[in-house]
Structure 1
């Protein structure tokens, strides 16, 4: 077989063969209806783009006789097999039993090979031919990510929840794939508007399709406190009782939070909880007067201003509060990271800010976790092992960028979330009904067309741990609004985190993204139809 590396030039030639003829000037071309035919999707034409593709040979076709085979004794691999069966059964109508590998031949084989160091913790190898499909990984996370590739190689109708006619074919060949960055995140702000456990699970499932592995939950802000803390119960019952606009708000019980963590883990996502401090703290200040320097609790806040609140840095009770909250949250969170915010602390003097962040970071370490903070943390001293999340703009002051770069050169890892690139609450264009404009308009190309490894001057790529797409919810209150703002920008951010830099090319990406349209529709996602993307013409199958 001929070995194909997914370079922009060669992949672009292959993909654009599927596109329609020359478009009118200024218009996005449309993917031809032929790309929605029963022919197998060309191997590797998915999002995120795989690291290496070797196409060739006849395809594999799922039938009623297909079995999902797993090596005996691998409980985690068996769980991935049952997940795959749950994805495929509703649309195919096939029974797809999960069986021991030795009990059958052919079908879909999921196997773990811990000695295959080249695949790392999350990589996988997919091999497809007329006799079956084999997914190989070093660990179960790799198998799970390989399953996302397999589902995208199948027709988009596989995502439907009712039986469809098929055929269900997977192109022949091999994919070998490992992520570029270890941290590939999405943040959901559940503080400005509260989202239920079921809604968070729904978002987790959508993130999984694109190999996102971190779910950052923004659990506290001026408008609401969303996690129960036994030692400070009014944080949730009073501080969580409202939201932007004055709605009823809500909070997660500890069992609710455990269920989110469990569900995310079943999709190989680590929950990163955030308690924002010392600013963005009005919900806490309203709940406990003693957290205020004057001992007077402010009223609950339902507006959208920022920068007006601060914990009382000089008050010893403040650090009892921080210790209790971090202790209880750390005990609920199996992941290694706790996010302590640190941004927009405009009501906290610089010396107080430095003193507070130093003590808060030591408390996080006391409970066995590693700190993540917004990039303002570099105005203090990031603790050893801390990550800094950069949310500045292309036009941010050079001095601010240099401070972040200096921290990176001194060993602090970076997660990149530039607001004018990947903030999902920004308007796409002037005509977008939802969203903000303070960072500018962020259409699909702008959110994709940048390189995390070379984004900040003076920052070596080795310091970049990955990327994250935050979704702030001052103006987002429903699943439909969340979907419209996240998609189709989120798949592009996921590709920036997963795919090698050599595959990064807007012209080829926009064609692959266009072919995701029917899949998004089949998943029930009412995505934004950006004019920059050549979405399929003609009726969407099953739509």
Structure 2
């Protein structure tokens, strides 16, 4: 710091206002000091050496700065003679840091200090810094390009522990690269979870070495009659690792006991006698398939499947689906959920399931994924279970924006961009205490989409609003303020080649 003070170049910055920066999600508290930090070739990044994760965050920031500005910023490598301005990513035990993802940023003329308790918190702070770097340099201030970052202080932490999106890769298959692109966008807006819906009636998308026909037969179809596809275990591990580098947890879902046609087509012994006979399904119907809940061999099969998948996913959760099991008798459904819960716990994971699972006797560690019945969400709290908020009428990304939307469905109603934002996850279910809410998830079912361009059309810009609903305090949730900040996201969306829906509700700030 001392050498930085001595070597810094004195620059006369124009007046700035950090509080007016179009940050999404909106930080908890922002204080402007009116000056600026000049990001240029004389800047260096240093990180705490007490945690290797902090250096990784520093290198990630350096890569993003290079991508946006072309600047090559060293990490823990600058010498005293070349250091003019400093970005320091510091592991801190400050009592002001509320929770593992909290961070503080102090921006001065010659330095930026980012404090966090964990690498995850530092990574969230880096996303804020990325948004503060302008698209264009200002070379009228010096004889070389300089990117002017407003000075001041940001104190920030998430409202909810869980902030996710779900991607349905079962109805239509998405490639590893398409999933990674989605992960990059989630990371930019401070999401920390990606829930992958890996199996359904139309396709099985994850290799299970002990049951190879699941992908050989079950993975060869999709909605509309395409060729389907699946992830090898190495590919799935690659996705998990890529997400982890961005401090995003992958939650795998094997939907059961319904939505199981692809599995039963692959191995007929799994099929319940009262359900429809398995066949290749390319339609969008639901509710006709079921595992045979009375067979011990079905549970042995699931033990293998859950074991192989959980061995590849270090996160704490395993999602069992559990919705729309209309071909399963209620008593059989309840017994099934309770048995599968024990299998999931055996593999040291917490079970997550769509809100129907609350009909069973659940352990308090199991999580209820609310989508359609408030009474189920309320029942969840009787034994202390946490609830993930994904109300279909507000948070389903596969619902059309309006009557002329090119993709999407409308069974839960139309969800224009303002309606997607104008609700509070903490109060949506009356009498559900916020302390029982784990967080928010925006699911994207893929019946009507089959590639990144179509995926992005439905996800963006609504996903950006869901990021704010999960992160920012309720008093910051203001549509008129948010839509101005949303409009300023165009440069990022275009740089990432994200095909967002240009709703007329927002005055998009294009060049």
Shared topology, TM-score over 0.5?
yes
Structure 1 residue 126, shift from structure 2 partner: 0.7
Question: Tell me, which stretches of 5 or more residues in structure 1 are unaligned?
Answer: 1-37, 159-164, 393-399
Alignment of 1:67-106 (within 5 A): 67-99=44-76, 104=83, 106=85
Structure 1 residue 524, shift from structure 2 partner: 1.2
Structure 1 residue 39, shift from structure 2 partner: 8.2
Deviates more, 1:62-71 or 1:175-184: 62-71
Alignment of 1:210-225 (within 5 A): 210-225=189-204
Matched, 1:306 2:282: no
Question: Tell me, which stretches of 5 or more residues in structure 2 are unaligned?
Answer: 1-13, 138-143
1:71 and 1:101 in contact (8 A); partners too: no
Match of 1:16 in 2: none
| CA distance in 2: counterparts of 1:99 and 1:352, whole angstroms | 59
Match of 2:89 in 1: 110
| CA distance in 1: counterparts of 2:131 and 2:355, whole angstroms | 36
Matched, 1:66 2:40: no
The equivalent position to 1:373 in structure 2, one of 353, 370, 381, is: 353
Match of 2:472 in 1: 499
| CA distance in 1: counterparts of 2:291 and 2:57, whole angstroms | 44
- Secondary structure class of the residue paired with 1:172: strand
Q: Structure 1 pair 150/437, CA: closer, same or farther in 2 (3 Å)?
A: same
Match of 2:378 in 1: 405
1:40 and 1:155 in contact (8 A); partners too: no
Structure 1 residue 102, shift from structure 2 partner: 8.8
Matched, 1:481 2:458: no
- Secondary structure class of the residue paired with 1:512: helix
Matched, 1:388 2:368: yes
Match of 1:532 in 2: 505
Structure 1 residue 407, shift from structure 2 partner: 1.8
Q: Structure 1 pair 81/297, CA: closer, same or farther in 2 (3 Å)?
A: same
Match of 2:6 in 1: none
CA distances 1:381-412 after superposition (whole Å, capped 9, x unpaired) = 222211111111xxxxxxx4223212224311
Deviates more, 1:217-226 or 1:67-76: 67-76
Structure 1 residue 199, shift from structure 2 partner: 1.0
Q: Structure 1 pair 389/294, CA: closer, same or farther in 2 (3 Å)?
A: closer
Matched, 1:234 2:213: yes
Match of 2:186 in 1: 207
| CA distance in 2: counterparts of 1:116 and 1:377, whole angstroms | 39
Structure 1 residue 122, shift from structure 2 partner: 0.4
| CA distance in 1: counterparts of 2:17 and 2:237, whole angstroms | 39
Alignment of 1:28-39 (within 5 A): none
Question: Normalising by the residue count of structure 1, what TM-score does the alignment of the two structures yield?
Answer: 0.87
Q: Structure 1 pair 174/101, CA: closer, same or farther in 2 (3 Å)?
A: farther
Match of 2:4 in 1: none
CA distances 1:14-73 after superposition (whole Å, capped 9, x unpaired) = xxxxxxxxxxxxxxxxxxxxxxxx986734530000001111131111111111111335
Q: Structure 1 pair 384/410, CA: closer, same or farther in 2 (3 Å)?
A: closer
| CA distance in 2: counterparts of 1:476 and 1:322, whole angstroms | 29
Matched, 1:431 2:399: no
Matched, 1:248 2:227: yes
Matched, 1:42 2:15: no
Deviates more, 1:117-126 or 1:171-180: 117-126
Matched, 1:325 2:305: yes
Match of 1:342 in 2: 322
Structure 1 residue 113, shift from structure 2 partner: 1.2
Structure 1 residue 297, shift from structure 2 partner: 6.3
- Secondary structure class of the residue paired with 2:331: helix
Match of 1:511 in 2: 484
Deviates more, 1:193-202 or 1:275-284: 193-202
Q: Structure 1 pair 380/115, CA: closer, same or farther in 2 (3 Å)?
A: same
The equivalent position to 2:32 in structure 1, one of 32, 38, 55, is: 55
The ranges of structure 1 where at least 4 consecutive aligned residues each deviate by more than 4 angstroms after the TM superposition are: 38-41, 100-105, 294-297
| CA distance in 2: counterparts of 1:339 and 1:479, whole angstroms | 24
Match of 2:10 in 1: none
Q: Structure 1 pair 252/145, CA: closer, same or farther in 2 (3 Å)?
A: same
